[in-house]
Amino acid sequence: MLDDRDRTILALLQEDTEKPVAEIAARVSLSPSACSRRIQRLEAEGYIARRVALLDRARMKLPTTIFLIVKTQRHSADWLDEFRRAVSSIPEIVEVHRLTGNFDYILKLVLPDVEHYDAVYKRLVSRIEFFDMSAYISMETLKAGSALPTHYA
């Protein structure tokens, strides 16, 4: 069970995992050693799944976002396994979600430019059969982030 200090620690680590423990400890009114033990516990209990570096997309020359909405006629376990392998093999596909409603999947692609989409499209359709695909180019990102709300845990 998490308390308010745990939630604050998690929120601060989501902002910057390199934030010094002493700084986090001061924000939650704990000693650095007590705070460090809490962080270790949060990791051991699985609240912190992993620590990663978030790369700057502009510096990585990947400013373009395309959302690809997919319909399929097949819903077998074999097709789904092949679909997972196909999307996992293409690094430009950074997220894939199975949907309810009129479409089956939405894929988020990050690319150097719109023209590069054709190469990714060809790699994907060479691996897996789809009923219908529609691509949507993001014109502007209004909100982006990886931080989760901590008050539900």
Q: Is 145 within a domain? A: no
State what percent of residues in the chain have pLDDT above 70.
100
Q: Is 53 within a domain? A: no
Shared domain check, 76 and 37 = no
Give the CATH number for residue 89. 3.30.70.920
The first and second tokens of residue 15, run together, are: 């902002």
Mean pLDDT over 7-26 rounds to: 96
Mean pLDDT over 57-73 rounds to: 96
pTM for the structure as a whole: 0.88
Say how many domains are in the chain.
Answer: 2
Q: Is 106 within a domain? A: yes
Q: What's the pLDDT tens digit per position in 73-126?
A: 988 999 999 999 999 999 999 999 999 999 999 999 999 999 999 999 999 999
pLDDT at 1: 87
Shared domain check, 121 and 90 = yes
Long-range (24+ apart) CB contacts under 8 A made by 41-49 are: 42/6, 42/9, 42/10, 47/2, 47/6, 47/10, 47/153, 48/10, 48/13
pLDDT at 74: 86
Give the CATH number for residue 20. 1.10.10.10
Contact at 8 Å (CB) between 14 and 153? no
Q: Which domain range does residue 70 map to? A: 64-137
pLDDT at 105: 97
pLDDT at 35: 98
pLDDT at 113: 96
